[in-house]
Structure 1
Amino acid sequence: MRYRLVAFDMDGTLLLAKSCWRIIHQRFGTIEEARKNLWAYESGLIDYREFMRRDIALWRPKPTIDEIKSILSSYTLAPNVRQLVGEIIRRGFQTAIITGGLDVLANEVARELGIPHVIANGLELDGSGHLTGEGILRVEPRHKDENLAQLAEALGISLEECVAVGDGKYDVSFLKKAGLGVAVGKDPELGRIADVVIEDFDHFPRLLDYLRK
């Protein structure tokens, strides 16, 4: 199979941090309240739109988008990500980020790495640039497969020609949908369904070998 598109999760995959949402909560001192929201979402008591609404409501007083960008600006790429993505692009693959994280960070990461396609969630703003308290839902974390399918169709690429790279339980549907699913790290649920498991991007030559097949 000649693969044409490599789509990456962001948090915990391209970035060392497991959640950009958590980084913001750490700054506002709202980690414990945020855990309750995540539990409610994972238990099926609320949907992801409500989860976003509840999480954003914890950030008081309402910040500006520039404040959020500043909080997220000190992100750290995972080791060897820059080399891996650069080599993938050099070899002619399309690349994308598909994440349940925030677009203000995903767009910056994409610019740094030269990734042209980004699908991520957003923050609604008022006329003065302050958060309104509403999120803009584009990626439901458990259903990244739907975003991958939409992107592949838009690019004229079959799902069998897609590679999905992720690190955690929310990436299960994402990896299952792609022609090649790559799990990074040691998440047991993801490892069971992945076609390829690599511990980290120190092993990126092995991943490049699979892309040649």
Structure 2
Amino acid sequence: MRFRLALLDMDGVLVDTPSSWVTVHRHFGVDNSGNAKLFYEGKIDQLEFMRSDIMLWKAVKRDVSLKDLEELFSTVPMMPGCRETIAALKRQGMRTAIVSGGIDILAERIASATGIDTVVANGLEADSNGLLTGEGILRVDIKDKSKCASQIMREAGVGKDECIAVGDGPSDLSLFRSAGRCIAFNPWNSSIEAEADFVVRTKDLREILKFTGGDTI
């Protein structure tokens, strides 16, 4: 089978950080565990989860700007082998897409640096001065990435058997179910391993190329 599309999680896969949201939380010295508990217990929806997290930052610094976050995310390292892996996937004839519940500022930076074709990630609303309003922009349902995956596949004219998916945690389970071949990259949860066709346990993204067909460098 020749694959034509790679659906890629970002946090923990394309970048060497477990969460772009947590990167910001750590920068401002805040703890969102209470918000996360409410979300995963179904007591708040994802937009309210995002809003609650953003307000934690604004409680520390009222005027948080997109530029502040661009500067912060410029320090987040790409996963070793990321550039080479995207280039190899393209040589194999694949389109590449980020499907991430993470923050689009970082996703766009990675896409620009590597030539990834499509980015779908969540955003942060800002006013005319570039200051965060406190609202999030919901594009990716972290409990069901398959909606985004299906749209990308339709636009690319690609079927399930022509897709690979790469992820590292439970939010990627729905992404895996959208693809014909699934690769767990440094999985931090056993549920994602159970759904994976292959598992990579090293921080070198080039290792996934053993399972995508074609060249490996």
What TM bracket, shorter-length normalisation?
Answer: over 0.9
Counterpart contact for 1:81–1:201, Cα < 8 Å? no
Whether the aligned pair in 2 keeps the contact of 1:119 and 1:147 (CA below 8 Å) is yes
d(CA) in 2 for partners of 1:156 and 1:166? 22
| Kept after mapping to 2: 8 A contact 1:144/1:174 | yes
Matched, 1:22 2:14: no
Counterpart for residue 87 of structure 1? 88
What is the CA deviation profile of residues 94-128 of structure 1, one whole-angstrom value per residue up to 9, with x for unaligned ones?
A: 01111001111100001111101000011111111
Partner of 1:119: 120
Q: Per-residue deviation at 1:191?
A: 0.2
Per-residue CA deviation, residues 131-166 of structure 1 (Å, 9 max, x unaligned), is: 111000000112111111110001111122111100
Which residue type is aligned with residue 144 of structure 2?
H
TM-superposed deviation, 1:68: 1.3
Matches within 5 A, 1:80-159: 80-159=81-160
Report if aligned partners of 1:167, 1:183 keep a CA contact under 8 Å in 2. Answer: yes
Is residue 2:196 matched to residue 1:198?
A: no
RMSD: 1.5
- Are 1:45 and 2:43 counterparts? yes
Distance 2:128 2:193 in 1: 45
Equivalent in the alignment of 2:186: 185
Structure 2 unmatched runs, 5+: none
The range that moved more, 193-202 or 51-60, is 193-202
Q: 1:202 to 1:105 in 2, by over 3 A?
A: closer
SS of the residue aligned with 2:96? strand
Task: Answer 1 or 2: which has greater helix percent.
Answer: 1
AA partner of residue 149 (structure 2): L
For the residue of structure 2 that corresponds to 1:181, the secondary structure is: strand
Aligned residues: 210
Give the match for residue 175 of structure 1: 176
Contact 1:49 1:137 in 2 (8 A): yes
For normalisation by structure 1, the TM-score amounts to 0.93
Structure 2 contact 3–162 (Cα < 8 Å) conserved: yes
Between the aligned residues of both structures, percent identity stands at: 38
Q: Structure 1 stretches of 5 or more lacking a match?
A: none
* Residues 1:6 and 2:18 are matched in the alignment: no
Q: Distance in 2 between matches of 1:120 and 1:112?
A: 16
User: Runs of at least 4 residues of structure 1 off by over 4 A?
Assistant: none
Cα deviation for residue 201 of structure 1 reads: 5.2
